[in-house]
């Protein structure tokens, strides 16, 4: 919980720095996040390699491992279906397209902007960034109330990279393999699902 | 590398600390890039709420379904 609060503080302070352009251009957001992401993945790799249970877990879970990305797809479609009833300005198809970015905001927002125009593209960008932020913030709570696969499921495609460190810190490094697997399946699906839904 | 170093406790504690620090930095710079993206900033009020509610429901759906799957297929082993 303490970590979640610290994360919010860091995000808000960063938001302020970006809004008022307080940093020299060298630090402009996206490239820095990429470098830090590389560092994080390296650190997570160490954590995974150092954990003796990773391989055992992957073996014991076997085919069931596909249930995690499946739960993300089914759950996202159900949740955004409910939203499409609440908001008349977005069709079910548009809601599903935004939802099936699964947090992969760079790719899904570009795809949606290309196919369905800028305003839906911005919604997709915001929505998928929010999904990532929600996962980063709520992982400890999700774990406590909805089990060890809930943070992985909430993370969607991001559970293989940006949210992986938080997830492994919370549910244990031995779940990193499942988390990466689920994120990978979803990441691979995004470029197919989004155009399919909008076609 | 982690596998080779698996018996060095102090090293592992250090890498866990570094992971925390890197997560904070990542969020800081995610904030910076959101703050610097004018398209996102100017549309924040109009579209932000839509995107937020849609995402909350989508994410909640994922979490609930994963919880059901967890209770149904994973808990007893």
Separation of alpha carbons A73 and A187, rounded Å: 12
Residue with tokens 């860091």: A10
Domain borders along chain B are 1-36, 45-77
Interface predicted TM-score of the whole assembly (ipTM), two decimals = 0.73
Mean pLDDT for B23-37 is 74
**Do A72 and A189 contact (CB within 8 A), yes or no?**
no
For chain A, residues with pLDDT lower than 50 are 1
- Closest by Cβ to A122, choosing from B16, B19, B40: B40
Tokens read off for A64? 């069931």
Give residue B3's pLDDT band: very low, low, confident or very high (50, 70, 90): low
Mutate to test the interface with B, among A27, A108, A150, A170 (most CBs of B within 10 A): A150
Query: Are the C-beta atoms of A165 and A38 separated by less than 8 Å?
Result: no
d(CA B51, CA A56): 39
Chain A positions touching B45 (Cβ under 8 A) are: none
A67/B69 Cβ within 8 A: yes
Over the stretch B36-74, which tens digit does the pLDDT of each residue have?
A: 777 667 766 777 888 889 999 999 999 999 999 888 887
What pLDDT, on the 0 to 100 scale, is given for residue A1?
A: 46
pLDDT for residue B77: 46
């Amino acid at each position: 919980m303490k970590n979640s609060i610290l994360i919010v503080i860091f995000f808000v302070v960063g938001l302020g720095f970006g809004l008022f352009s307080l940093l020299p251009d060298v630090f402009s957001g996206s490239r820095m996040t990429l470098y830090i992401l590389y560092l994080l993945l390296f650190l997570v790799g160490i954590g995974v390699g150092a954990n003796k249970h990773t391989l055992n877990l992957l073996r014991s879970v076997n085919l069931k491992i596909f249930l995690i990305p499946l739960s993300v797809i089914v759950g996202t479609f159900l949740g955004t279906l409910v939203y499409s009833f609440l908001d008349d300005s977005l069709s079910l198809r548009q809601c599903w397209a935004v939802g099936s970015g699964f947090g992969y905001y760079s790719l899904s927002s570009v795809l949606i902007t290309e196919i369905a125009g800028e305003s839906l593209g911005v919604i997709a960008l915001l929505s998928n960034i929010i999904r990532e932020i929600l996962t980063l913030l709520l992982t400890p709570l999700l774990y406590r109330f909805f089990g060890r696969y809930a943070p992985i499921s909430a993370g969607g495609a991001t559970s293989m990279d940006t949210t992986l460190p938080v997830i492994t810190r919370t549910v244990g490094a031995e779940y990193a393999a499942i988390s990466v697997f689920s994120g990978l399946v979803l990441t691979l699906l995004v470029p197919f699902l989004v155009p399919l839904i909008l076609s | 590398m982690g596998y080779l170093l698996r018996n060095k406790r102090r090293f592992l504690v250090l890498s866990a600390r570094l992971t925390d620090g890197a997560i904070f930095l990542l969020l800081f710079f995610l904030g910076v890039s959101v703050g610097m993206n004018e398209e996102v900033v100017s549309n924040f009020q109009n579209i932000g709420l839509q995107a937020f509610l849609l995402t909350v429901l989508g994410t909640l759906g994922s979490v609930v379904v994963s919880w059901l799957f967890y209770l149904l297929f994973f808990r007893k082993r």
